[in-house]
């Protein structure tokens, strides 16, 4: 008996499919797929969520001084002329950042191995590159998803059968975060 489903694909295609589906599940909260795919995706997704729950509070807050470019009312950098050259003006600001402990950093890198980068496009400015923004799924896992499941021992996803697909009569399911 095999330890996993092959899903009728080569190993690289299968890995890409599972990564894509897990990324979509964690980004959107639910996806519609076939039953066999859902059972494979569930394994990976629950592993990532369990890792996030384990490491969610494993950081220390550190205050650092950073140089930040001064900006005008339009959000553009302020420049001043020094020795005939235009130079950006910087202000020194104290910031509080989260510094990961080694085990949390390892967990973050393991998650990044699986998750694809996600860009979010707002509905109003669709088709315009400057309106898109990068979604940090690992931060979402640590900050939003993990606190929801901290008192739960596994079982972070639910599979609900929808019915047979019209084209090939494959069982379709809704895979969602509980």
pLDDT digits (tens, 9 = 90+) for 31-74: 999 999 999 999 999 999 999 999 999 999 999 999 989 888 88
Instruction: State mean pLDDT over 72-84.
Output: 87
If we measure between CA atoms, which residue out of 47, 40, 51 comes closest to residue 11?
Answer: 40
| Per-residue confidence (pLDDT) for residue 83, from 0 to 100 | 87
**Distance (Å, whole) CA 37 – CA 39:** 5
Q: Taking Cα atoms as reference points, which of 168, 178, 9 lies closest to residue 18?
A: 9
Across the beta sheet with 171-177, what order do the strands follow?
Answer: 30-34, 171-177, 157-164
133-139 average pLDDT score: 93
Prediction pTM value: 0.84
What pLDDT sits at residue 126? 62
Of the chain, the end-to-end C-alpha distance in Å amounts to 30
Place of tokens 């490491």: 55
The fraction of the chain above a pLDDT of 70, given in percent, is 97
Asked if the model's pLDDT at residue 127 lies above 80, the reply is no
Q: How far apart are CA 49 and CA 146, in angstroms?
A: 7
* pLDDT band at 143; cut points 50, 70, 90: very high
In this predicted structure, what is the pLDDT of residue 125? 63
Return the residue matching tokens 């399911």. Answer: 173
Look at the block and give the residue holding tokens 């019915």: 163
pLDDT in tens, 88-100: 989 999 999 999 9
The CA distance from 143 to 135, in Å, is: 13
Q: Quote the CA–CA distance of 40 and 13 in Å, as a whole number.
A: 14
Q: Please, what's the b/e burial string for 164-175 (b: 16 or more CB within 10 A of its CB; e: otherwise)?
A: eeeeeeeebbeb
Tokens of 113: 């191995």
C-alpha dist (Å) from residue 3 to 47, 52, 92, 154: 16, 24, 55, 20
């Amino acid at each position: 008996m095999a330890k996993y489903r092959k899903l009728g694909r080569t190993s690289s295609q299968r890995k890409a499919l599972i990564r894509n589906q897990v990324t979509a599940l964690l980004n959107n909260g639910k996806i519609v797929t076939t039953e066999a795919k859902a059972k494979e995706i569930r394994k990976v997704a629950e592993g990532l969520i369990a890792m996030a729950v384990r490491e969610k509070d494993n950081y220390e807050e550190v205050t650092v001084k950073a140089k930040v470019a001064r900006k005008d009312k339009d959000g553009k950098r302020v420049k001043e002329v020094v020795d005939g050259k235009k130079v950006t003006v910087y202000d020194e600001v104290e910031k509080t950042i989260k510094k990961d402990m080694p085990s949390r950093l390892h967990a973050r890198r393991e998650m990044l191995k699986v998750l694809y980068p996600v860009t979010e496009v707002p509905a109003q400015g669709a088709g315009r590159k400057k309106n898109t923004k990068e979604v940090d799924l690992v931060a979402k896992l640590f900050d939003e998803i993990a606190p929801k499941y901290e008192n739960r021992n596994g079982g972070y996803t639910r599979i609900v059968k929808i019915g047979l697909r019209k084209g090939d009569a494959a069982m379709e399911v809704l895979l969602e975060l509980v």
